[in-house]
Amino acid sequence: MSKQKEVTKEMFFNEVAKYISDPQSIAMINKAYDFAQKAHEGQLRKSGEPYFIHVLNVAYILATLTAGPQTICAGLLHDTMEDCGVTFEEIETNFDHDIATLVEAVTKIGSLKFKDEKEYLAANHRKIFIAMAKDVRVIIIKLVDRLHNMRTLMYQPEEKQKKISSETLQVYAPIAHRLGLAEIKNELEDLSFLYLDPQKYHEIAHLLENKKSERQAIVNQMIVNLDHLLSDKKIEYRIFGRSKHIYSIYRKMITKNKRFDEIFDLYAIRIITKNELNCYEILGYIHNAYKPINGRLKDYIAMPKMNMYQSLHTTVLDGNGNIFEVQIRTEEMDMVAEMGIAAHWAYKEGKYNSAAEQKEIENKLGWFHDMISMMNESKLAHPTEFMSQIKKDIFEANVYVMTPKGRIIELQNGSTPLDFAYRVHTEVGHNAVGAIVNGALVPLDTVLKTGDVVQIKTSKQSNGPSEDWLKIVKTTTARNKIRAFLMKKENDMRSEMIAKGEKYYSDEVKRRNLDEKLFLDKSKLETIYGQLNINNYDELMYAVANKSISIAQIVEKLQKNKNTSMADNESLTKMIQEKQAKKDKRSKVSTSGVIVEGISSMMVNLAGCCMPVYGDEIVGYISKGQGVKVHRKDCPNIINEKNRLIKVMWNPQQQETQYDSWLRLDAQDYNYLINDIVTMLAQYKVSLYGIKSESLPDKVNTFVEIKVKVKDLEQLQTLMANLKKIEAVNEVTRITK
Ligand code: MN
């Protein structure tokens, strides 16, 4: 982060004059300048500075992004509605409808509350935010507004600093990234990180500072070498080194579990050239002179990224073992890379005859349409694919509905008021009797749309969920809650029946004057279960209650058994004991299920590091005094061993053993993740033996490690494939401890 210069009126207008010369536009900007200055007169920021300084800074940054005159004006006026009571009409009369609309949208979006982190997922906030903004200029103004607020966050109390920073990291930085505003994204991330974890921030900043001159020397040498290589090739180019921002280093250290120096081994160089062909030519010369690292060549020119980023990336080694990541691109691509959508939006005088014309184009098209037209203009490869992805992301996957108090609830597409009710609260779901959507009473199976205001009518007298509800709900959480309710209800009913049966039976025994020692003794009753085709006491009493077994039947069977039961019991016990002994003996042979020729299986154990499961490719390692340890063939702990390895194989006769395995799930959207994982495990009848989880400081990405027991590789692979299907899960890997 560079130290910010104080922006003056002169600096601002100089910046504007770099690309806007039309006198009418300049006059309008002047007017907005004076208007905003007057409106904010007397207002001070926490820093003690006049409030207008903030507004001027926002407009200045917009000018550095070459925003159009209307956007600049809206930047100057962006806080006048909220803080000075200026009305829409006033701005419309003094300026124009377009500027008033922009200011209003910026104001509205600012009042969106991102309070309850636990309840909503950060990713969805971003979607709502973008969906509500409609015009990309609104988002850019809002991002720039937030950037300046972050730059001046030191004047806020600590609690507020943390809250604003975490919101910035969760909502604003990802939007900036999505729009390709790399510089703004990086600064937002670094500033947020500074306030969220000052210690880590300074630690990394310090490490960076320490290595700076040494690194600079290496990069400079490479620049000289490359310059030498390209100077006689008749290509225009500029070469420079790049620095990484602090938060990206930190994120890599966490997600890739690496130390600072392991990440920082990479030096970064960028070459800017004239056209696409030059990019590929330069790449050719570099690969000819330096050894490229396999698999690291990325052609984002032919296949642009989602946010329209284009560049060639390659990684090469210099003669001294230094690794360089080289990016090669044109001026235009570089501008898109740094400024993203703003680069496409850049105001170009002469291209449009008047600001009005530009406005008309922008008004006509929603911002998604704008994206399409921009994509077509820039001849990117797959505009339709990109669009359908965004549309799916925002409009198809979810609906956003509201409570009467304006709380936004995000639901899967196709959800009904019942899903909504269960999302609000389990009890609201259980007691739901009707729904009011946008003021009208509707059936509970009505499909909700984005923007619906939903209210649930509840009644304590309601009978609660029925089987039919399972067909109405769309979300897994609602379905699980209904199932749990139905199961509990059935259990309660069952317990009631059992108690009823028990009472009826004992009353009958007494009424018939039967021997209570015989007829009420559970162990005696046990002897007739088989004959009655039931499994336990509860089942017997349930059957008594619903009259599927009569008291007379029980009496008859018990009396018949009275004399023989002793002998039977004894033989049964003996049988069980024998069975148990057999089982014990077998499990003592070996728990590994692995055969090693010539070695007692007692001495064979599965390695704790890579934890092979039945079906894995395995190899034995002869350890000192501890017999043979069985590893997976690709276990990093034995990969360099040669002499002490021995061939081993799984014992096909032995498949009863359960094998431990640790899995790592990289995921985002933490909230329902654990629930989804547990549900999935239950579905595949796999038990969970351990769980560890940590969320990364952006609170969006997270990883969870789970320990499971499986019977073989096939079961493990099926499980992994299905865990990957969980929406929030990006990657599932087996880990080596
Ligand atoms: Mn502001």
pLDDT at 90: 95
Please state, in angstroms and rounded to a whole number, the distance separating the CA atoms of residues 380 and 276: 13
- The strand ranges marked E within 18-109 are none
pLDDT in tens, 208-262: 887 778 888 888 999 999 999 998 888 889 998 877 788 888 887 887 777 777 7
Cα–Cα dist 145/136, whole Å? 14
pLDDT reported for residue 178: 66
Any idea how long the chain is? 737
For residue 486, CA distances in Å to 27, 138, 426, 480, 737 come to: 70, 49, 13, 10, 42
Q: Give percent above pLDDT 90 in the chain.
A: 22
Separation of CA 45 and ligand 1 centre (Å): 11
Task: Name the residue with tokens 């789970």.
Answer: 706
pLDDT > 70? residue 130? no
Q: How far apart are CA 428 and CA 409, in angstroms?
A: 14
pLDDT interval class at 363 (50, 70, 90): very low
Radius of gyration of the chain, Cα coordinates, nearest whole angstrom: 35
Identify the residue with better confidence: 169 or 451.
Answer: 169
Query: Residue 69 in contact with residue 355, Cβ under 8 Å?
Result: yes
Give the Cα separation of 514 and 559 in Å (integer).
Answer: 11
Q: Using pLDDT thresholds of 50, 70 and 90, give the confidence band for residue 668.
A: confident
* Residues 5-38: tens digit of each pLDDT: 689 999 999 999 998 888 999 999 999 999 999 9
Give 417's pLDDT tier (boundaries 50, 70, 90).
very high
Rounded alpha-carbon distances, angstroms, from residue 400 to 97, 112, 416: 29, 14, 12
C-alpha 55 to ligand 1 mean position (Å): 6
- Spell out the residues 6+ positions from residue 731 whose beta carbon is closer than 8 angstroms to its own: 664, 665, 666, 724
**pLDDT tens for each residue of 63-93:** 988 888 999 999 999 999 988 889 999 999 9
Ligand 1 centroid distance, CA of 80 (Å): 9
Q: How far is the CA of 374 from the centre of ligand 1 (A)?
A: 28
pLDDT score, position 8: 93
Give percent above pLDDT 70 in the chain: 78
- The answer to whether residue 83 is catalytic is yes
Tell me what pLDDT residue 340 has.
62
What digits encode the pLDDT tens for the residues 688-724?
777 777 766 665 677 788 888 888 888 888 888 888 8
Name residue, tokens 């291209």: 351
- Report the separation in Å between the CA atom of 14 and the middle of ligand 1, taken as the mean of its atom positions: 22
Mean pLDDT of the chain: 79
Give residue-wise pLDDT tens across range 526-578. 888 888 888 888 888 988 888 888 888 888 888 877 655 444 555 555 655 55
Of 22, 41, 79, 82, catalytic = 82
Inter-residue contact 149 to 108 (CB < 8 Å) = no
The token duo for 560 is: 């018949």
Other CB atoms within 10 A of residue 589 CB: 13
Among 193, 211, 216, 190, which Cα is nearest to 264's? Answer: 211
- Residue bearing the bigger pLDDT, 499 or 642: 499
Banded model confidence at residue 320, pLDDT cuts 50, 70, 90:
confident
How confident is residue 508, by pLDDT bands cut at 50, 70 and 90? confident
Catalytic site residue from 10, 41, 79, 83: 83
496 is catalytic: no
